[in-house]
Amino acid sequence: MKQQNRITDITRRQIADEMSLNNLWYHGNSTEPDFLARLFNLKGLPSKDYRYNNAYDDIYQHMVNNTDWDSDWLYNDPRINLSYCDDDIYLRFLALTLHPRVRTNESEVHKLVEIYNKHLGNDGFEVIQTDEISGKPIFSVHQKIIGQAGLLAKKVEIKKYLNTEYVNGKIDIMNEAIRKDTDLAIGTAKELLETTCKSILKQKAVVVDSNWTLPQLLKVTTNALDFTPKKAANPESAERSIKQILGGISSIVHGVSELRNSYGTGHGKDADFKALEAKYAKLLVAVVSEIVILYLSTNGETAELVEE
């Protein structure tokens, strides 16, 4: 039995109506068939016009050459059926309308994000920036989860200093696993933190001892960076306080990791295994993301990746 869509046809119609009222055409700088060809195999879909043998040529004739279809034709056309298509297709459609290759007008992008979030929120979804390309934001639509938007925003910040497929993959795994596999989320968070520290230390020409525990690795990385607040009344005292705080954060990371170990690590789980509650994984992922951003921004340069 097909799962019912979470984003209702009512929400989709409200979004379409408000886009039309604001003269915001979904295809942006593209033609309609070129835009839709990014989502659908138009050359493989049939034409409704006997003169053509595929949907691409059909749409091009009626929405580029002649523009004799209604502007909202794609919501009711059974080949596209935007009113009732699967959520994942509809969400990819919305995200594509905001892509820099499709839309270059920043005010239009901001207005569309505002419209989407206004209506999608009723169905438990939201548009958030999850990446960037050439300094332009890339947006995705996600189901609303407490703290999820903040975690995805941290990915964009981390990429400024350590932009690799390896790191991006780790961040995506953490975000997805918080709900489904807390053991994986915590393990991946530790790996990201270790990778960040080792990459910074390599840049600082500090030799890493393979026997160091994570707290030891964090301590050495902290000592290798300059955390002195330049504008503080007493910079030395402020730096000591900051490092004391970082030491406490290290204890949090170690403590949650130990808690995770008591629930089982990935070396095989018993049949009655119970995963650590998601709130603890969310805490560690949030803390690790902030530490990574703090360390990388304090380092101030793009670090060369040292993979595990």
| Domains of the chain (ranges, CATH numbers) | 9-144 (no CATH), 165-299 (1.20.120)
| pLDDT band with cut points at 50, 70 and 90 for residue 108 | very high
What is the distance between the alpha carbons of residues 39 and 35, in angstroms, rounded to a whole number?
8
Average pLDDT over residues 37-50: 95
pTM, rounded to two decimals: 0.56
What pLDDT does 257 receive? 64
- Calculate the dihedral angle through the C-alpha atoms of 189, 193, 196, 197, rounding to the nearest 10 degrees: -170
What is the distance between the alpha carbons of residues 196 and 306, in angstroms, rounded to a whole number?
8
Average pLDDT over residues 91-115: 95
What is the distance between the alpha carbons of residues 114 and 116, in angstroms, rounded to a whole number?
6
Higher pLDDT, 193 or 178: 193
Q: Which two tokens stand for residue 27?
A: 């295809």
Please check the confidence at residue 149 and state whether its pLDDT lies above 50: no
Please check the confidence at residue 259 and state whether its pLDDT lies above 60: yes
| pLDDT band with cut points at 50, 70 and 90 for residue 38 | very high
| pLDDT band with cut points at 50, 70 and 90 for residue 167 | low
